[in-house]
Amino acid sequence: MQRDSRAFPPPAIILLGQAGLATARRLQAAVPGARVLGLSGRVEGADLGYAEFGETLRGLYLEATPIIALCAAGIVIRTLAPLLERKGAEPPVLAVAEDGSAVVPLLGGLGGVNELARTLASALAVAPAITTSGELRFGTCLLNPPAGYALADLEQGKRFVADLLGGASVRIEGQAPWLEAAQLPVAEAASRTIRVTPRLRDGRRDELLIHPRTVVARVSPPIAADQVRRALAEAGLALAALACLVAAPAQANVPALEWAAGELAVPLRFLADDQALPPLVHATPEVRLYLSDQPVDPFGIGRARGRLTVIGLGPGAAGLMVPAARRALDEAEDLLGYETYVKMAGPFRPGQRLHGSDNREELARARHAFEIAAEGRRVVVISSGDPGVFAMASAVLEALHGSRDPRWHAVDLRILPGVSAALATAARAGAPLGHDFCVMSLSDNLKPWAVIETRLAHAAAADLVLAFYNPISKARPWQLGRALEILRCHRDDDTRVVLGRDVGRPGETLTATRLGALRPEQVDMRTLVIVGSSTTTGFARDGGGEWIYTPRWYPTAPG
pLDDT of residue 3: 38
Alpha-carbon distance 247 to 220, whole Å?
6
527-531 vs 465-469, strand pairing mode: antiparallel
Residue 223 has pLDDT above 70, yes or no: yes
Across the chain, mean pLDDT equals: 92
Contacts of 231 (CB under 8 A, 6+ apart): 217, 282, 284, 286, 287, 289
Cα–Cα distance measured from residue 435 to residue 428, given in angstroms and rounded to the nearest whole number: 17
Distance CA 529, CA 523 (A): 8
Instruction: Report CA-CA distances (Å) from 536 to 427, 433, 462, 463.
Output: 14, 9, 14, 10
pLDDT digits (tens, 9 = 90+) for 161-200: 899 989 999 999 998 888 888 889 999 899 899 999 999 9
Band (416; pLDDT cuts 50, 70, 90) = very high
Q: Identity (one letter) of the amino acid at 305?
A: R
CB 400 within 8 A of CB 369: no
At 305, is the pLDDT very low, low, confident or very high (cuts 50, 70, 90)? very high
Binned at pLDDT 50, 70 and 90, residue 286 comes out as very high
Identify the pLDDT of residue 86: 63
**17 or 49, which is more confident?**
17
> For the chain, what percent of residues have pLDDT higher than 90?
73
* Mean pLDDT computed over 199-222: 92
**Is 155:185 a contact under the CB 8 Å cutoff?**
no
* Contact residues for 383 (Cβ-Cβ < 8 A; gap 6+): 310, 311, 312, 313, 337, 341, 391, 392, 393, 418
Q: Is the pLDDT of residue 1 over 70?
A: no
Cα torsion through 24, 26, 30, 36, rounded to 10: 30
Among candidates 134, 112, 237, which has minimal Cα distance to 179?
Answer: 134
**Runs of H (alpha helix) within 173-265:** 225-234, 255-264
pLDDT band at 6 (very low <50, low <70, confident <90, very high): very low
- The per-residue pLDDT for range 421-435, each reduced to its tens digit, is 999 999 999 999 999
Confidence of residue 140 (pLDDT cuts 50, 70, 90): confident
CA contacts within 13 A on the Cβ side of 454: 6
Helix (H) or strand (E) holding 482: helix 479-488
Please report, for residues 22, 313, 331, the alpha-carbon distance to residue 373 in angstroms, rounded to integers and kept in the order given. 37, 21, 13
For the cut 50, the answer to whether the pLDDT of residue 4 exceeds it is no
Contacts with 337 (C-beta within 8 Å, 6 or more apart), sequence order: 345, 355, 356, 357, 365, 381, 382, 383, 392
Question: Across 85-94, 143-152, 173-182, 286-295, which has the greatest mean pLDDT?
Answer: 286-295
Cβ-contact 57, 69 below 8 angstroms = yes
**pLDDT at residue 137 greater than cutoff 50:** yes
Can you give the pTM of this predicted structure?
Answer: 0.80
Distant-in-sequence, close-in-space partners of 401: CB < 8 Å, separation ≥ 6? none
CB-based contacts of 101: which residues, under 8 Å, 6+ apart? Answer: 124, 126
Q: Does residue 31 carry a pLDDT above 70?
A: yes
Which neighbouring-strand residues pair with 301?
Answer: none
Q: What is the pLDDT of residue 383?
A: 95
CB 4 within 8 A of CB 149: no
Q: What is the largest distance, in Å, between two alpha-carbon atoms of the chain?
A: 99
Give the C-alpha separation, 370 to 409, whole Å. Answer: 9
Eight-state DSSP code of residue 385: B
Mean of pLDDT values over 149-154: 91
Residue 31 is given by DSSP the state S
Strands 48-50 and 35-39: what pairing? Answer: parallel
Q: What is the pLDDT of residue 88?
A: 58
| Rounded Cα–Cα distance for residues 377 and 369 (Å) | 10
Predicted pLDDT of residue 131: 84
**Taking the CB of residue 461, how many other CB atoms lie within 10 A of it?**
12
Closest by CA to 184, choosing from 202, 160, 219, 205, is: 160
Inform me whether the pLDDT recorded for 5 exceeds 60.
no
The per-residue pLDDT for range 313-364, each reduced to its tens digit, is: 999 887 788 989 988 998 999 999 999 999 999 878 878 999 999 878 899 9
Q: For the chain, give the number of residues.
A: 559
Q: Tell me: pLDDT of 235 over 80.
A: yes
